[in-house]
Structure 1
Amino acid sequence: MYQEFISFTKKTFNTEAFIPLHAPIFLGNEKKYLNECIDSTFVSSVGKFVDQFEADVAKFTGAKHAIATSNGTSALHIGLLMAGVSKEDEVITQPLTFIATCNAISYIGAYPIFVDVDKETLGLSPEKLEYFLVNNTEVINGECINKSTKRKIKAVVPMHTFGFSANIEELVSVCNRYNIKVVEDAAESLGSSYKGQHTGTYGLVGAFSFNGNKTITTGGGGMLITNDDAIAKKAKHITTTAKIPHPWDYEHDMIGFNYRLPNINAALGCAQLEKLPYILERKKVLSNKYDTFFKDKSIEYLRGPKDSNSNYWLNAVMLENLEARNYFLKETNEAGVMTRPIWKLMNTLTMFKNAQTGNLDNAEWFEDRIVNIPSSVII
């Protein structure tokens, strides 16, 4: 079976060479816009491509505002600050996520709480979230208080895993009942939607990543999106060192961050975004090929949850158990077909081992079984 998959993958990608997990693809105006940026000499944090990229992402996602940042982690960091998270507060998120989710929480001096994921979506479970809140918190003077730690729970951060949308509508509904802000970690889900609405637009803010391995890339970069005018204005201000506009003077009115996306990265992003519909179309073609191949086989291909449209950023399969998973990883990687296990659960890492958790049965089950398989665009 494993050799059959290896042969199928090499045929699908039409190569006997090494097949990466997810490589960027450049099909349009990338070189043109980069040369234009270089010729203008505006290659750093000021230039027309930054403004254009922000406008284009806002239009594509349906968000009112988009604020470009240096990477997805910085976008998430700012998003948490915009949600009012402060030092000694608590933020609920899922243990099955990339480390950046928890790093952003920790930058503020806040504490993560880990609640389990859904088996259908791989995202934060609304049912498990509500169970945790009912049994561990109380709302006092409009604020959600953790009864055991006495800390305020300010935000919930669901992650749209591999481009699969979490059950975000229900998560927002649960959080509204407890006066908790939702900050969407949409780093992996540009081009994904839930019930026809783009991920990242359900919560107070959403954060995307444009790392080199994402659906589209700016080399390194991120984007915060929101429909709130005041939040957009403040986020733009503090990500650009909180400098008050002036023709020559240097005046800053608060602690800010140098999270600006360089114009040269934004130029690449503008060109990539122009080709995003085609990229999404071709990624769906690859997903359909995998779906057909794995039918009636012992390995399950993860197709994605109902009520959502995935960008199929990283395709994933589920093996029978940990032993089968490890053997699959060994056979594929030794054959030059790059595969990777899902992340180690955040609550098992040294810096988060003392974090409060709910029951994590689903996340622990997935950790032993899920493998990502090659997901680059096929032409």
Structure 2
Amino acid sequence: MQKCKYSKPLCEEIVRFIKNEYNSKKIPLHSPRLLGREMEYLWQCIDTGYVSSIGEFVNDVENDISKITGAKYAVAMSSGTAALHMALICAGVKAGDDVITQPLSFVATANAISYIGASPIFVDVDMETMGMSPQSLREFLLSNCIIKGGKCYHGDRRVSACIPMHTFGMVCEIDEIAQICQEWGITLIEDAAESLGSTYKGTHSGRFGLAGIFSFNGNKIATSGGGGMLITDDENIAKMAKHLSTTAKIAHQYEYDHDQIGYNYRMPNLNAALLKAQLENLDLCLMAKRRLANRYARFFEILGVKFITEPRECISNYWLMGIVMEDRVSRDELLEFANENDVMMRPAWKLLSELRMYQHCTKDSNKNAKYLADRIVNIPSSVIS
């Protein structure tokens, strides 16, 4: 087939293919797959009466995530955002610090930094991984920062942490980023919210720094309705995260006493019951995702449209699949046509560095991030049974 130019016929062909794949008139971007023991576990949870933040299902999913990722410890939270906030607190990030992150990400990445009273610095992403570019990170540090007493400073502000995000489940060059952070005395925290099941050089995402976090929102590859998880190999971090996320309550048979300001961030047992059933089928879901990605890749190769595939050394969960259009005009043309025809598509996020509350923050050129934001279209990625 001759390569199509970006036009209405191309939009029609893409939408037709996706409708045939899903055999449905109205197709969401990503819907949960609830085909396991979800109802059974939810009824078990209800029968026990433990539907809030105490219950065996919470302990179970923490153990499950530890096994899946290889992390020594996992702490269940009410959301991925809560888990990221808690990771920053446990890492010792303070108000007035700077935290390096990337502009191409969901807003929660920057919001969690702001909850601390710290400020994000936005360094550019890599074109292949769509996650933080280690080259951009190193160039920013060399041009703008110094090391004093083993700590990194940007002017008179300490750069206390770095948060790369694994975009759409594609793991960035995280080992090189980890090495740079070590050289500069910066704590690495991975925003692995979208990358459960993704690995880099054989190691699961979230395992390369002090802590990593996952999201189990309703649109994720495994869902608890709403929920998140912090993972770490540091026992002290795990203990602190669990304590602070349960309102810093001191254990006692009946007294209520708290030893510091805490947070009501613990995952409810009801949500954990749903998540446990989801995690039992994670491997099947990952295989189905890969089959869908392969079909998409073959289709878009024929059309001459770039389908986003896993980077080198990464085995991706293909959580949210996407294509890269020729320019913003063709991107918007496809978005408008698809959504008008009941096939949900969306662009990548508006760059965090361009949001009104973060426009004043330090950033580099963000050249690659701008290019990708103008061209990425996320396409329906639900698992097909």
Matched, 1:7 2:13: no
Q: Which residue of 1 aligns with 2:7?
A: none
For 2:30 and 2:179, locate their aligned partners in 1 and report how far apart those are by CA, in whole Å: 34
For 1:209 and 1:371, locate their aligned partners in 2 and report how far apart those are by CA, in whole Å: 22
Q: Which residue of 2 aligns with 1:128?
A: 136
Normalising to structure 1: TM-score of the pair? Answer: 0.98
Moved more, 76-85 or 117-126: 76-85
How big is the shift at 1:182? 0.6
Matched, 1:239 2:248: no
Paired residue type of 1:11: N
Q: Which residue of 2 aligns with 1:174?
A: 180
Q: Which residue of 2 aligns with 1:280?
A: 286
Q: Which residue of 1 aligns with 2:55?
A: 47
Matched, 1:63 2:65: no
Matched, 1:22 2:20: no
For 1:316 and 1:204, locate their aligned partners in 2 and report how far apart those are by CA, in whole Å: 30
Per the alignment, in what secondary structure is the counterpart of residue 116 of structure 1?
coil
Q: Which residue of 2 aligns with 1:101?
A: 109
Task: Give 1:1-379 correspondences, 5 Å limit.
Answer: 1-15=10-24, 17-147=25-155, 150-379=156-385
For 2:184 and 2:165, locate their aligned partners in 1 and report how far apart those are by CA, in whole Å: 20
Paired residue type of 1:309: I
For 2:53 and 2:181, locate their aligned partners in 1 and report how far apart those are by CA, in whole Å: 36
Q: Which residue of 1 aligns with 2:5?
A: none
How big is the shift at 1:310? 0.3
For 2:253 and 2:190, locate their aligned partners in 1 and report how far apart those are by CA, in whole Å: 36
Per the alignment, in what secondary structure is the counterpart of residue 26 of structure 1?
coil
Normalising to structure 2: TM-score of the pair? Answer: 0.97
Paired residue type of 2:293: S
Paired residue type of 2:341: A
Q: Deviation above 2 Å: which 4+ runs of structure 1?
A: none
Unaligned residue ranges in structure 1 (runs of 5+): none
How big is the shift at 1:81? 1.1
How big is the shift at 1:297? 2.1
Per the alignment, in what secondary structure is the counterpart of residue 176 of structure 1?
helix
How big is the shift at 1:298? 3.3
Paired residue type of 2:34: F
Which digits, 9 at most, give the CA deviation of each residue in 1:189-234, with x for residues without a partner? 0000000100001111001000000001000000000000110011
